[in-house]
Amino acid sequence: KIALEKPETLSSPSLQNLTQDDLKKIAALKAVEFVESGMIIGLGTGSTACHAVARIAELLQQGKLSNVVGIPTSKKTHAQAVQVGIPLSDIEHHPIVDLAIDGADEVDTYMNLVKGRGGSLLREKMIEGACKKFIVIVDESKMVEYLGASGAMPVEVVPFCWKYTADRLQALFQAAGCVAKLKVLGNGDPFVTDNANYIVDLHFEKGIGDLNAASDLILRLPGVVEHGMFLDMATTVIIAGSRGITIKNK
Ligand code: 5RP
């Protein structure tokens, strides 16, 4: 486990009485202050990251940033970035990404994350794993004592015999009271990821426990593509809360 620098808190009485989306936007705008002209930027996915994408586009339009290339982490973010005019590429052409900015579903004390409740974890992990710096932007509701505390940890699986894979995932964590459920749309059809896979959500009654051990066990299972634990990947977490913005660095 890694010792973290003392977090810096910028207190602001004006952050009281804001909505969760306002807080997400505040965290996103703070993160975009770290974007510099000429950077290759990983563009995250979700309702927090989309504020960062919009802000980068705004700064490009105003001429306050130039020569920025975005690497979108999902088809949805790709569409948003095209719409707002951010030049795009991918990690085949830019295997080293200067900075990625993305939201998270959970952030623990050690800056480990659960991501992918929006279903984009595979591309997010590939791109954010290629980054020199990875800034995670969250409102304070995402901070947890341990991963798995506030909801599911998603696992991307191949559709072939997905139920067999789901059953084996659940069995791996029986002692932690794990229940595996296929992620479905409102009409009951399976949610299909950008890479044409399914998502099995793992619900842990008692938390995930040893994260590295859980990661190894999951990734060894045939049928699993990737999981939503992002361990030791975030370099900075920006948390917007009612008492101000907190910035944690590794
Ligand atoms: C998508 C993600 C998102 O970053 C995560 O779900 C947080 O979403 P939001 O910013 O909408 O709360 O991992 O796969």
pLDDT reading at 3 higher than 50: no
Between CA 35 and CA 89, with CA 229 as vertex, the angle to 5 degrees is 40
The answer, yes or no, to whether any atom of ligand 1 lies below 6 A from the CB of 25, is: no
124 is catalytic: yes
pLDDT category, 2, cuts 50, 70, 90?
very low
CA angle 200, 203, 206 (to 5 degrees): 150
User: Locate tokens 């982490």: which residue?
Assistant: 73
Residue pair 223/161 in contact by the 8 Å Cβ criterion: yes
Nearest atom within ligand 1 for CA of residue 228: 13
| Residue 215, C-beta contacts closer than 8 angstroms, at least 6 positions apart | 227, 229, 231
Interval 39-97: pLDDT, tens: 999 999 999 999 999 999 999 999 999 999 999 999 999 999 999 999 999 999 999 99
Contact indicator for 71, 88 with CB cutoff of 8 Å: yes
> For ligand 1, is residue 197 a contact (CB within 6 Å)?
no
* The pLDDT value given to residue 17: 79
233 has pLDDT over 80: yes
Return d(Cα 10, Cα 146) in angstroms, integer: 25
Average pLDDT, integer, range 164-186:
97
Point out the ligand 1 atom lying closest to the alpha carbon of residue 103. Answer: 4
Q: What's the gap in Å between 243 CA and the centre of ligand 1?
A: 23
Interface confidence (ipTM) of the complex: 0.98
Q: Each residue of 177-204: pLDDT tens digit?
A: 999 999 999 999 999 999 999 999 999 9
